[in-house]
Chains A and B, each alone.
Chain A
Amino acid sequence: MASGAVAGCMGALLGLGGGVFLVPFLNAWFGLDFKTAAAISLVTVIATSSAVSAGTTGRNLINLRLGMLLEVASAAGGVAAGMTVSHISDITLERGFAGMAALIAVLMLTRLERRNVIQDTTVHPGSLGGRFHDEESGGEVIYQVRRLPLALFVSFIAGNVSAAFGIGGGILKVPVLTAWCGVPMRVAAATSSLMIGVTAVASVPIQYANGYVSPPLAGAAVLGVLVGSRGGLWFGARARSKWLKLLMALVLMTVSVIYLRRTL
Chain B
Amino acid sequence: MNGEHPQFARLEVTLGRLLATGVAISAILLAIGLTTWLIDPQRAAALWLLNAGLIVLMATPILRVIVSFAEYITMGQWFFAVVTIIVLIELAITVIVAVSRL
Binding site for B on A (CB under 8 A): 43, 46-47, 49-51, 53-54, 56-58, 60, 62-65, 68-69, 71-72, 75-76, 78-79, 82-83, 125, 130-132, 197-198, 200-206, 208-210, 213, 215-216, 218-220, 222-223, 226
Contacts and interface: CB of A to CB of B under 8 A. Distances in A.
Interface of B: 1-4, 8-9, 11-13, 15-17, 19-20, 22-23, 26-27, 30-31, 33-34, 37, 41, 46-47, 50-51, 53-54, 57-58, 60-62, 64-65, 68, 80, 83-84, 86-87, 90-91, 93-95, 97-99, 101-102
Contacts of B58: 43, 46, 201, 204-205, 208
B11 to A, nearest CB: 6
Contacts of B68: 64, 68
A198 B93 CA distance: 13
Return the 3 tightest CB-CB contacts between A and B, nearest first: A57-B16, A205-B98, A215-B50
A43 B91 CA distance: 15
Given A62-B12, A205-B95, A226-B27, A68 B90 contact: no
A47 B34 contact: no
Q: Which secondary structure characterizes the binding site on chain A?
A: helix
A197 B61 contact: yes
Contacts, number: 158
* Interface secondary structure of B, over-half rule: helix
Contacts of B93: 79
Nearest to A221: B30
B27 A208 contact: no
Given A46-B61, A216-B34, A72 B90 contact: yes
A73 to B, nearest CB: 10
B87 A226 contact: no
Contact of B98 (A43, A125, A206): A206
A78 B93 CA distance: 11
A40 to B, nearest CB: 10
Contact of B60 (A50, A64, A82): A50
Contact of B16 (A58, A130, A210): A58
A53 B21 CA distance: 12
